[in-house]
Amino acid sequence: MHSVNGADSYSDNIQLISGEQEFTHGLFPGESLTLSDELPRYMAKVGLDHAGFNYNLIAVFGSQSTGKSTLLNKLFGTKFETMDEAARKQTTKVRGIWMSRGVNSNILIMDVEGTDGRERGDNQDFERKSALFSLATSEVIIVNLWEHQVGLYQGANMGLLKTVFEVNLQLFQKNSTKERSLLIFVIRDHVGTTPLSNLQTLIQADLTKIWSTLSKPAGLENCQIEEYFDFQFTALSHKILMPDKFDAEIAVLQKRFAEKSHKDYVFNPVYHKRIPADGLSVYASGIWTQIMSNKDLDLPTQQELLAQYRCDEISALAVEEFNRIIKVVEANSNAGRVIPDLGNFMTEAREAALKIFDTEASRYHNQVYQRKREDLRNKTDSRLHVLFVAQLSALHKSTITEFQSSIQSKLSSGSYDFANLLSTALLIAETRFIEQANKCNVEGAGWAFDVELDLLKTELEELGTKLRQEEVDRALNRTEKQIRNAIDEPISMVFKKPDLEMWDRVLSLFNDILDIEVERFLNHSKGFNATDEENESSVEELKRKAWLALRAKIDEEVSESNMLLKLRENFEDKFRYDSEGVPRVWKPSDDIDGYYRAARDEALKLIPLFSLFKLRDGSEPDIPIPQTETLSHSKLIQVLSASKQHDLSTRFKKSADALYVEAKRSTISNVSQ
């Protein structure tokens, strides 16, 4: 790269513009703002990177070898290379623009090193460029000249000043507010015979002469030099011949740069070019690129470009910090957790990012700053909105869970009015959701959550309906069990004395119990807040269950073993006991066959009686429920199938036969006694 001779000895300097007219090492020419980090590193090294506007920029102009670098080093404690050192080290002085921070001050000084003037064309070109560059950036320009050069209008200095004025007009003509700069003339090797005031008058006459010869841009034909520049004059004695006097005068001059209360304090704020320290590098390199491409140097545009570039950079830093802050919460959010105090957290994260941005970026072009701030805010808010939406979905889940468990715990606690319980739980769930959703809103964002709320309401209502249905089902089952219990004994009793009105009694008994239980159920279900249709279908379901219970009870009663028992008992009552209930002792004269037939036929009549659910008058019971596969009318009526009846009679006959044989035998044994 462009290694500088003896670079190490310039550790406190930076070569801003190289001899080859490149902006610090590594700037890529063209429109691109890509640049090396030389200047930013230097700014950081000398501790000015966060100075904002709290720094000053000076440039020095003057012919070659007029002691400029020597003056700067004396005034500001800098270490710019002077001709003495160059000669001692036998190096040729390096052209370009050098920059250094003054010792114990926030002043950045640019030492402009031209050529020795032999190649005039080249020299003038660089002179013009460096003048443009210095005026676009510096508040104060020191013009260094020998006393004997004063009044020589044709002198090299005057050419330089002409260039300075020209480029100044070019530079600031587009600005509505006129930028001002201060020119300090330092007259060197002042002998003292001509007083400073005389020299000053001479210089001012020259300046006016130069100004009048300039061709001014349209609209500025009559502008005055004083509209653009303020002037100060000072003189210094010969450094080598009168070193003590020179040093004393330097000390006096220093005060104008250091003491704000000094009547000639040089850094009037109006001179400041309003480039924040952290943007100096981008701005200066942009200006230099424009100058090198011979484009019109439009400072407002440059400031806007700078603002865009820097605001983007600062915004990126702000986003980095923002990311760091919300990372943990984002992880929790992804895990579907409800994050406590999310709203405040998000507001704070956003404020932290905006604060970082505002601190540095607010110094830049206001419209650009405002626009980029809005961009940043949108960027952070869209990230936060994702968290907001995730929080809503987590809230949704937890609300549903809480809703369910609150109802369940009340249900298990026993006494409750379900409708009341449900509406209270719904209200609590909704209110809490709204409250928490509002709480996790970012300040000022006012994000809506109507859709999420509607979704929650729908789900809660569905859930409520489901819970109510479960509750109704539980009540139905309970009632069914009660019916089952209630019919068990009485129906068994009815079947113990089977006769032609047996089914009438079963039916009326059953209907009485059912009526009571339906009424009880309806009373209870008032608490479910059910509609008439719902109640109707519940009652229908209840009746269906009751009929199934009845059918199960009948089935149990007519099981094969029960039926056989009934038949046998019936048979035995007639066959083995007389009409007074006294056991018979068979005598051979007894008509065993006759008794047997009568008792058997009597018992066999039970089979058809039990087989069909038929009332005394021959009608079938009215079953007031729709037919289903498990519960068809005929199934309820047909208690015993034909084949079962057949089996029953066969088996019963066998056991009756056995009793008959036993009776026969007993007469034989009675006779033999």
Report the interface residues with ligand GDP, using CB under 6 A: 62, 64-70, 82-84, 188-189, 238-240
- Shorter beta-carbon distance to ligand GDP: residue 196 or 325: 196
Provide, rounded to whole angstroms, the least separation between the CB of residue 63 and ligand GDP. Answer: 7
- Shorter beta-carbon distance to Mg ion: residue 69 or 149: 69
Residue 402 CA to residue 410 CA, distance in Å, equals: 12
Is residue 69 left, alpha or beta, with left meaning phi > 0 and alpha meaning psi from -120 to 50? alpha
Q: Which does 188 bind (CB under 5 to 8 A by kind): Mg ion, ligand GDP, none?
A: ligand GDP
- Shorter beta-carbon distance to ligand GDP: residue 110 or 376: 110
Provide, rounded to whole angstroms, the least separation between the CB of residue 360 and Mg ion. Answer: 34
Q: Which does 396 bind (CB under 5 to 8 A by kind): Mg ion, ligand GDP, none?
A: none
Provide, rounded to whole angstroms, the least separation between the CB of residue 137 and ligand GDP. Answer: 20
Provide, rounded to whole angstroms, the least separation between the CB of residue 17 and ligand GDP. Answer: 16
Provide, rounded to whole angstroms, the least separation between the CB of residue 235 and ligand GDP. Answer: 11
- Shorter beta-carbon distance to Mg ion: residue 189 or 360: 189
Residue 454 CA to residue 64 CA, distance in Å, equals: 82
Q: Which does 240 bind (CB under 5 to 8 A by kind): Mg ion, ligand GDP, none?
A: ligand GDP
**What SS3 state is found at 59?**
strand
Which residue's Cβ has the minimum distance to Mg ion? 69
Binding site for Mg ion (CB under 5 A): 68-69
- Shorter beta-carbon distance to ligand GDP: residue 67 or 102: 67
Q: Which does 239 bind (CB under 5 to 8 A by kind): Mg ion, ligand GDP, none?
A: ligand GDP
Residue 282 CA to residue 161 CA, distance in Å, equals: 28
Provide, rounded to whole angstroms, the least separation between the CB of residue 68 and Mg ion. Answer: 5
Q: Which does 125 bind (CB under 5 to 8 A by kind): ligand GDP, Mg ion, none?
A: none
229 strand-pairing partners:
181
Six-digit token string for 488: 């068990």
- Shorter beta-carbon distance to ligand GDP: residue 186 or 548: 186
Provide, rounded to whole angstroms, the least separation between the CB of residue 219 and ligand GDP. Answer: 38
Judge contact between 36 and 26, C-beta under 8 A. Answer: yes
Q: Which does 83 bind (CB under 5 to 8 A by kind): ligand GDP, Mg ion, none?
A: ligand GDP
Q: Residue 137: count other Cβ atoms within 10 Å of its Cβ.
A: 21
Provide, rounded to whole angstroms, the least separation between the CB of residue 89 and ligand GDP. Answer: 13
Q: Which helix (H) or strand (E) holds 145?
A: strand 140-146
Provide, rounded to whole angstroms, the least separation between the CB of residue 196 and ligand GDP. Answer: 16
Residue 365 CA to residue 170 CA, distance in Å, equals: 22
Residue 134 CA to residue 128 CA, distance in Å, equals: 10
User: Edge-to-edge, what's the strand order for the sheet holding 107-113?
Assistant: 13-17, 96-101, 107-113, 56-62, 140-146, 181-188, 229-235
Residue 69 CA to residue 113 CA, distance in Å, equals: 9
Six-digit token string for 144: 């260094």
Give the dihedral sign, CA 378/383/389/391: negative
The β-bridge relationship of strands 96-101 and 107-113 is: antiparallel
Q: Which does 334 bind (CB under 5 to 8 A by kind): ligand GDP, Mg ion, none?
A: none
- Shorter beta-carbon distance to Mg ion: residue 13 or 24: 13
Residue 475 CA to residue 466 CA, distance in Å, equals: 14
- Shorter beta-carbon distance to Mg ion: residue 68 or 365: 68
Residue 171 CA to residue 486 CA, distance in Å, equals: 109
For the chain, give the number of residues: 673
Six-digit token string for 453: 């709320």
Q: Which does 67 bind (CB under 5 to 8 A by kind): Mg ion, ligand GDP, none?
A: ligand GDP
Q: Which does 139 bind (CB under 5 to 8 A by kind): Mg ion, ligand GDP, none?
A: none
- Shorter beta-carbon distance to Mg ion: residue 69 or 138: 69
Cα-based torsion angle of the residue sequence 337, 342, 346, 352 in order, rounded to the nearest 10 degrees: -110
